[in-house]
Structure 1
């Protein structure tokens, strides 16, 4: 499993799980499956189709901005991952490989409860073909969602807070309406304090402390 869009200020985070038979790991390597960040969008799209054809299955979960704002991001990521693990059980997986984020104990405990082997490590998307495949699935699906959102809200760039185009778009939205941000913005991101302060909501405000 892997995710795409954790650090974005716009749009959902996508979590994907890919169920891979060991017999096809070599095929996936041969066709160029690797961490999605190392691939062009065109290559990711092609590999998406190959993975769809060769994998036993893939499972996708989503976390939308309001949900991300209302939860600890690492806890939410693992909650979504656990949901994918349960959804994968009919395929009888043996090993669960996850690109580690934060304190992994909660997900490791759940994996072991289910009688599965845990492989929760940093850079799993670089070092394990199944996580690389999941990173491609997650990234392609998020890219497609972002394309759809741009048709509604205009071109906001990559959606990452470091992207000048994204920051400019938020600034323009703020100038039009300082009190009603587009629902695709994650309102707890601190970037907003500098460019759109009225849009920002702290976790404390949401949790009531």
Structure 2
């Protein structure tokens, strides 16, 4: 999982919206790649946190997300932000409390990546970095699809590698529920012990 934060001046928000920055899911890969460098060049700073599959297999996904967001905020605090917009996942009280403790206005709302260009920009950065990480995996493992459970190519690839009695690849979330059906020996319960 890749989470990103981008520090932007108010004056930059209009420009980014004008050039087409919006929720990364609504952009083609080509467009995200085009916007990536512009976002980084116009930002005052950015931060990226990668959460590894084995962490996700051991811990609550929302808790991991909150810690990652707080780490991003902490890494950009030197820029003295007055407001932080966060795409809300679950309660987010951990993030809101952290922002309050810093005296920063929190704007933590559902679909912030759709409705606020600063979150859209962060979503583009995270998605481009994730896409590039998937490309690296493909160089070693072949076409694994997008890595999302909704991607039939990904599901087929996992199922095939499981049938060939290969050990689970290190980038696979072992607590991914669909594994119960397509690759049962790969599956581990959340917070379970990983047996390779």
TM-score (norm 2): 0.96
Deviation at 1:204, TM superposition (A): 4.9
Deviation at 1:135, TM superposition (A): 0.5
Establish whether residue 116 from structure 1 lines up as the match of residue 104 from structure 2: yes
Per the alignment, do residues 17 and 176 of structure 1 end up closer, same or farther by CA in structure 2, a change over 3 Å counting?
same
The aligned counterpart of 2:143 is 155
Deviations 1:76-125 (A, max 9, x none): 00101101111011111111111000121111001100110101100000
The aligned counterpart of 2:174 is 187
- 1 CA distance for matches of 2:17 and 2:177? 39
Establish whether residue 198 from structure 1 lines up as the match of residue 181 from structure 2: no
Aligned to 2:124, the other structure's residue is in SS state helix
What are the within-5 Å matches in structure 2 for residues 51-90 of structure 1? 51-90=39-78
- 1 CA distance for matches of 2:69 and 2:58? 17
Figure out how many residues of one structure are paired with residues of the other and give that number: 194
Deviations 1:3-32 (A, max 9, x none): xxxxxxxxxx00000000001111111111
- 1 CA distance for matches of 2:152 and 2:117? 33
- 2 CA distance for matches of 1:45 and 1:204? 36
In structure 1, the gaps of 5 or more residues are: 1-12
Superposed CA RMSD:
1.2
Aligned to 2:76, the other structure's residue is in SS state helix
Establish whether residue 48 from structure 1 lines up as the match of residue 36 from structure 2: yes
TM-score (norm 1): 0.90
**Runs of 4+ displaced beyond 2 Å:** 204-207
